[in-house]
Amino acid sequence: MGTLRNNPFFLTRLPHNKDLAAAIGDAFKEAGVPTGWFSVIGATKKAILAFYDQAEKGYRELLFPMPGEIVTCTGNVTTLDGKPFVHAHITIGFSDGTTRGGHLMKGTVLFAGELFGVAFEGELERVYDEVTGLRLWKP
């Protein structure tokens, strides 16, 4: 059903009008893969990205309320608080050919998406890191 699997890789079509980060999480869940790496190409109807302010230790949101091409979106699925967690960075191309990029936030809506996933065995857990203020992989 729109998914090709050749362990440890899989290809999946992402659904129209769905939140991109949630769709990536669902694709891994449906493939039965709790830990992995991915790449997505496609298009967005609107996008919310973020820039991590290293001094303030907080995300600054960047809203792009127009259609765009997903030039590249890459990231991973690992474990946070016992649940699968999607971390993605994205570059979006706009109608004038310019690109913008950053950390993918909730609220980015898919027009279309094609995901290439790589499965890993086992779990990689995220924990809070005092130095960066981020939830990084357990050392």
Residues that bind Zn ion (CB under 5 A): 103
Neighbours of 75 (CB within 10 A): 19
Shortest separation between residue 2's beta carbon and Zn ion, angstroms: 27
Least distance CB 61 / Zn ion (angstroms): 13
**Length of the chain, in residues:** 139
Query: Which residue lies nearer to Zn ion by CB, 10 or 19?
Result: 19
CB of 46 to Zn ion, least distance (A): 19
> Which CB sits closer to Zn ion, 83 or 97?
83
* Alpha carbons 23 and 11: distance in angstroms, whole number: 13
Buried b (16+ CB within 10 A) or exposed e, 30-51: ebebbbbebebebebeebbbbe
Q: With respect to Zn ion, which residue has the nearer C-beta, 69 or 103?
A: 103
